[in-house]
Structure formats: C-alpha cells, structure tokens
Chains A and B, each alone.
Chain A
C-alpha cells in the first residue's frame, strides 16, 4: 500500500545532541510537510517542500532544519534539541494541486524525548 513512513517511531536524545528524523513516501506526492505537535495541542506546521522549493514558516526556530534529497525522502534535523522540543513530529504529503482542497496524508509520527 502507498503510504507515508516515519522512522524511528520513538527517538530519545540528550539535551543539545543533534537528532535527525526521517520521512519517506510511496505516494509520489510533490509536497512534503513537517509538523510539530505538543501534548494536547493541534499540529503546528514547521515547513514544507514543494518539489525542491523549501518554505519555512515565519515562527519556526532556526534550530530546525530540513532536507529533501529526492521526491521520496524528507528529513527533519534538530541541531541542538532543548527540553521544549520534546513533541510528536508528524510528516505529511500532498499532491500539491491548485486550490485549498489539496489533501494531506500523514505518517504515524515520531515521538521525540529530550533528556
């Protein structure tokens, strides 16, 4: 089945130690998104790629970076994780069609713990 895959499902890192989260998709979608979701809150968009074009949200901290080496893969890099970065990180994809009806499909998420 075509899907959005995130690895690992659970990641533990130490305060200040760089960490990379991975997302892959078999949907051949143009757009890939990264969201941060803290406990009992709605997902918050960090950035997205439309093909190779990177779009950063204005309030995304510089500590968060992303790479998309090809259509299928997208990575979230947290350069120096703080305790406040502990959250669920969700990857999503969409075709990128015109209009707001473009549907986003989410992966299962990676739960990040910062010690």
Chain B
C-alpha cells in the first residue's frame, strides 16, 4: 500500500525565512505525488504535482518540491515566507483505487504559521 508521512504537524517560520515542509512516501511502484494547500474554511488548492517528468517541480505562489527517490522524499520549499502562506499543507500520493478512478492518500497535514 502507498502512504505518505508528513513530519511536523506544526511549523513556524519568520516572514522572509525559508519554508521547508517535509513529506516522505512509501510506495512499491513509482509514485505520483501532490502538495495541496488549505486555507481556513476553504477547499484544497493544488500547489504542485510530481509525475516523473522532472524531479524538481515548480508550483504556484513560489513553492517548489524536489522528488528524491533515494530518500523517498518530496519536501516542499519556498525561499521566502510571506504572511499569506499561513495555512495547512497536505502531501498526498495518487494510487489506483478499487474502482476505475484514482485515489488520493493524504498525509496528516502540516500547519504553517508565519511570524511577523
């Protein structure tokens, strides 16, 4: 079974500092990996996805993630945090479901706080 683990349920950074949110995956086949962001009382918005085309994936709002097979990791980074980045971030792996569609298996989420 495929799964993801997000290390750190809460991360705090100062405005302008590097953001690093950690995600490790477990998969017996090449994984499809996603990062979503969720603002309070909102749905999930896709930040970026890895589909094996390139190991460094650039997403929206200045975020990027690097797929490292040797470390089974897909960490999310942003060089300089902004107050508007404060939100919940979910890493997910796409798996084949029992039906004909694909299922997302989510990590437990990381709440990012940006301090002024």
Asked if B101 and A50 sit within 8 Å, CB to CB, the answer is yes
* A42: B residues at CB distance < 8 A: 90, 106-109
- Report the separation of the CA atoms of residues A51 and B72 in the bound assembly, to the nearest whole angstrom: 34
Query: A53 at interface (Cβ–Cβ under 8 A)?
Result: yes
Asked if B102 and A102 sit within 8 Å, CB to CB, the answer is yes
Chain B: number of interface residues, binned into ranges:
20 to 34
Count residues on chain A whose CB falls below 8 Å from chain B CBs: 31
Within the complex, which residue of A31, A101, A107 is in contact with B32, where a contact is CB–CB below 8 Å?
A: A101
* B46: A residues at CB distance < 8 A: 103-105
Footprint of A on B, CB under 8 Å?
31-32, 34, 36, 41-46, 49, 51, 90, 93-104, 106-109
Q: List 17 A-B contacts (CB under 8 A).
A: A6-B43, A40-B109, A42-B108, A48-B103, A50-B100, A50-B101, A55-B98, A90-B44, A92-B43, A96-B100, A99-B102, A100-B32, A100-B96, A101-B51, A101-B102, A106-B45, A109-B41
Beyond the given pairs A6-B43, A103-B46, A109-B41, 11 more chain A to chain B contacts, judged by CB atoms under 8 angstroms and listed by A's residue number, are A41-B108, A43-B104, A48-B101, A53-B100, A55-B100, A90-B43, A100-B102, A101-B32, A101-B94, A106-B36, A106-B45
